[in-house]
Structure 1
Amino acid sequence: MDRIHYRVVEHDGGWAYKLGDVFSEPFASREAALKAARHVAQQQHVPDNAATIEYQDAEGQWHTEFSAGDDRPDADVVT
């Protein structure tokens, strides 16, 4: 099982949570960003329906993968 970590950081004149190089929308306070990050991390544990997904990587290449919907990552928030 994959493990992912959300981080709460200062961003865009406020606070945001971040996964890798991707930021959330800005929040007015660190506490609000932390609350949102914890909610998003919790939602990562919820199983979904099986689906075929397509995405484009950083080099512009397209990929097609099957997601079983029950192979959710272990997510947390690092403070």
Structure 2
Amino acid sequence: MTRIVYEVVEHDGGWAYKADGVFSETFATHDLARKAADRVAQEQLIPGSSTEISYEDKDGDWHEEYASGGDRPETGVKG
């Protein structure tokens, strides 16, 4: 199972959360960034609809896959 951990960090003169090297928008306080990260982590747990998806990888190659709406990752927040 996939695990996504959101980390609250100082960023761009304020605070943000990041996952896999990607930053959120900047928040004025650590508390606001933590609350946003907690909300996003909870939203990741909500099942969606199963569907066919297509995406481009870092090398510019396109892929098509079937994505199960019930295949949700484990999530966490630190910081």
TM-score normalised to structure 2 length = 0.93
Deviation track 1:4-57 (CA, whole Å, cap 9, x = no partner) reads 111011111111110111111111111100000000000111000011112111
- Could you say which residue in structure 2 is the equivalent of 1:27? 27
- Could you say which residue in structure 2 is the equivalent of 1:72? 72
Gaps spanning 5+ residues in structure 2: where?
Answer: none
Gaps spanning 5+ residues in structure 1: where?
Answer: none
RMSD: 0.9
Supply the distance in 2 between the matched residues of 1:34 and 1:4 (Cα, whole angstroms): 15
Aligned identity (percent) is: 53
Aligned length: 79
Q: Which runs of 4+ in 1 moved over 3 A?
A: none
